[in-house]
Structure 1
Amino acid sequence: MSFAFIPRNISKGGKQQGTSPHVPSSRSLKPTPAIERRDSESAYPGPPASDKGKQKASEPSTKPVYDDKDISILVVLAFSDYALWLDSDLRRKTEESLRNEEHDAGFLPLSYLIRRAFGRENLGQDYMLTEANAVKAIRAYASDVLEVRMLVSAPSASAWYPSWKPERSSVGGYEVRRKDWRTLSENATREFTRNQWDDRTIYMENIPAQYHTIPGIIRFAQGLLSHCPGSLTLIPIQNVTLPPHHLDKAEDRPKCKGFALVTFSNAELCQIFLESWPWTRPLQPESDDSGLAESNLETKEALKFGFRTLPKASWDKLNEEYLAYRQKLIHELADANEPPDISPNSDVRDVVDDDVLEDTPAPPRNVTTMYSPHPFGCLVFARNLHIETNKTTLRKLFASAFESSTVDPAGIDYVDFNKGMDSCYLRLASPEHGRVLVDRFSSQPVVQSHGLDDIGKTPGTSQKAIATEIIEGKKEEVYWEKVPEKVRRQAVEKAIKAPNGKQSSAPAHTAHGHSEESRPRRKRNRG
């Protein structure tokens, strides 16, 4: 049998006879890496694999990878009543949307909710969730809570997306709204206070290890409530807070260590947990009418790990007692390691007169030295701020207190402020800065007329002026414990140097301040 000879240059170019022009070659049938990843990855893909050399075995990721149910839970949580109460930007955009016509009322861009749902999860840029995956998750697990629609054209004005966001260049997309959007503006939770939400919050401890994520905690709690008629609400769980550890840094995101604060939509759900899983309970709890002792997976795991609950008010009290006990141990340890007041040199004791020792004043308390755990008198708390203000505006507003004084105008080290709050903490360079600032805002009360008001105006009869106070004592200790040690050391050094010259005028502090600064001067002179 003979085969026809096909020249190399002819076989490579043009169409082959007897074949369809639409059939791709064997090379084009090979999927691209992007297609391979899209087909094989879950909702949260890992880092893209390198196409150079053989692909290494994938290592287990330390970041959580969520399935469709977890994705739907987080998106619903970002649109809960508690989120609308806490997030002023979300609340404002929702109210603006509710004023639209009926077919557009209540809809928000899905990408906007995704950023809020996964912003605190710290998944990184490699874990990007597409809107298509989120829509699939919502339709599969949250269709009774959220309504999804696809935009067929780009909106005329994209006020949702800042210019520095990648969504600016994307058109179309999806929008979602709550099923109860018609009554959303009349929801009583809009006027709730912090105490009212605390009454609907419980502390959960010994959460099973396989549920140590925010959506995992919600799945676990919903599983325990699956047999309860009182859980048939639109969004039974409104929020989950992971308390930080005292060793966590300020920039660290809290991780679940087996306990969490869970906020429910009503007090009845809290009572179900508190009665079925009390803080102190027998080893084998009896079956009750609530249905939590049924033999489902969540109940078995709760019994295995010793799951228990406590009202938030009781948890706050225990937490205060723990902090006080911990601080007491720290003081006792510090006292045990302090050197004796009298020198161990017997010859020196014989020379020093007892009258001289009696006339020597005792070292003052709460005076910042190089061995102080934090600077004393350098923390100021301010309240009655505008809820739409920011750190830059607050820094300029409070720095105005130093303009007509002799202290250093750059006396504000840090503005500890969270967006949407009406209060903040100010870390100052020295105690004198704190006194000047508090005196200035006490003698000349002002209010912010808008979020970017960095000057202030005289308050009206019904307006509350900005109030400031110096934080001292236990509150001061508790605050500085959460500040990284390196930052505390820098604040202590700055307070000792007292660049404004005010703090060194006190006789008691002069002895400490000059003794600490004179030694390096002598070293420089000798050098």
Structure 2
Amino acid sequence: MSFNFIPRALKTKNGKAAAASSSSVPPNPTPIFTQRPPPVEGPRLTPNTKGKGKEKELSRIAKDEELERDLATLLELSFSDYAFWSAHGLRQAVSTSKDGFVPLRRLLNESVFSAHIPQPRPSESAFAKALKAHGSGFLEVRILFTEPSQGDWNDPDAQMESEQGEDAGGYEIRRKDWHSIKDAHPLWGTAWEGRTIYVENMPPSARSLPSLARFMHALLPPPSPSQSPVPMAVQSITFPNRQSASEGSNLSLGFGEIKCRGFAFVTFREVEHAERAVQEWPWDTQEASEGNTATPSNTTAVEAKKCGFRTMSKGTWVALKEEYLAYQAHLLDLSKPTASPDPEPVRSSQPIPNSNQPPPLIHHTPVFEHELETYPRGCLVFVRNVHPETNKTTLKALFSAAFAEESSGVDYVDFQKGIDSCHLRLSTPAHATRLWSYLDSRPIIQASALDGEGRVASGDERPIIAEIVDGKREELYWERVPEKVRRESVLKARIGAGGHDAGGAGNEPEGGSGPRKRRRKRG
């Protein structure tokens, strides 16, 4: 169906409008378009393209929803009883507030979990939206509008100070039970120690702080429907770094790393929560599986059982750590070389042809039995306090400084990135002793990951420490080394110590010391 084009009424030269009548319209006016314009050719969406687009959209929605859950969990952890005890600024802000509300901006800045907030930091409205959609209900948010003074419009500095002041506009947040926590005395560190447990073997989906908090909360029995909203059962989560874990320091006070390395400390609101978690997920998973044949109650428990999730109390962990450190110190004391006098030269028992000349001396040299030795003894050195992000090439250059006057005695550097220790395979026992003496007399550190020279340690810096591995530890280490590499190391140690290559005797013709002539290939 097409419409005829009727022109607008035209004005005459004298300004009078010409009356439009049916006689002024031609009987068959020509339309603007006689037919529809051809469609513009564009990319045609195939069924596969539509499927990929839909899949991407669903993935984006799921990722946004997961981010909202994380933001809501971080807000609830930041306003938990544990956070109220550990953050003095938050406790002061609540106590001085008339109605318990504190600026959301201040809560995020002073939270002990601020390092786990995604970067770039989402807006305050995103936090408020996430809390309303996925919060447990014990926090409430409001928005505060303020009108800036007229002087702030002309003075940028005054406007910035007004935005950062107590009466600045923005979102405010409070707990619904703010009356009970305003004047209450928070728990102290010793009380939180009894509510803390050590966990490991978490599922891959629970390796971030918010996801691990939800995972632990799902393993506990749900609260009764009639119960008023209360803070989360999980109050704090700490991912300890390797240094603090090795030293056995206090790890449940909100300090640690951002990245999860497969183990963590979880602090609960009630002692009963911690005891129940340790009882249902004991450390000895084999005994637990034999004694408990019940089917897990939810999908989270099924996933935890599949990954071998296990726990122990913080007190048990501290006791085991002290036992381990004592055993480690004992091994270090045993591995320290003791200063021994030089061996007496062995005099020959042959008759002396000339009494005026002293008897010949036979110097003792270590001899390795190629047929009996399965690994070179005394050639393994364990080194600690290297940079965790260094590499094997840098470490070999660093430790080769002990053999500056000769070729490097370091055969191989057994190092894994992310760990502050490594094993060194030296050419001979003499090289191992020389490296130990070099590091013992000159305490050095790696200033950076690519520092191949080292600098002298100062202050509280921990220098690089070396120990010569022997006994059962040395045997267990060489057992996992391929047999071919072990044989080559034994052979190299024999040659370096002054022995003769029994396996290479057949490479020389009998009665001569020259090299064997190469045969020509025929044809």
- TM bin (shorter chain): 0.3 to 0.5
* TM-score in terms of structure 1 length: 0.47
* TM-score in terms of structure 2 length: 0.47
Q: Which has the larger radius of gyration?
A: 2
